[in-house]
Amino acid sequence: MFLFMTILMGLLGILFIFLGWRLWKKEQITLIHDYHYTKVVEADKKAYTEKMGKAMILMGIGIFLTGLLCFLTDSAYGWIAFAVCFTGGLAIMIHAQLKYNHGIF
Under the banding of pLDDT at 50, 70 and 90, the label for residue 75 is confident
pLDDT reported for residue 70: 87
The answer to whether the CB of 69 falls within 8 A of the CB of 77 is: yes
Q: What is the 3-state secondary structure (H, E, C) of the chain?
A: CHHHHHHHHHHHHHHHHHHHHHHHHCCCHHHCCHHHCCCCCHHHHHHHHHHHHHHHHHHHHHHHHHHHHHHHHCCCHHHHHHHHHHHHHHHHHHHHHHHHHCCCC
Look up the pTM and report it: 0.92
pLDDT reported for residue 98: 95
The pLDDT of 53-81, averaged and rounded, is: 92
Distance CA 72, CA 47 (A): 37
The pLDDT of 48-54, averaged and rounded, is: 96
Distance CA 34, CA 1 (A): 38
With a cut of 80, say whether residue 13 has pLDDT above it: yes
| Sequence spans of domains, the chain | 2-101
Cβ within 8 Å of residue 70, ≥6 positions away: 2, 5, 6, 9, 76, 77, 78, 79
pLDDT reported for residue 78: 87
With a cut of 80, say whether residue 2 has pLDDT above it: no
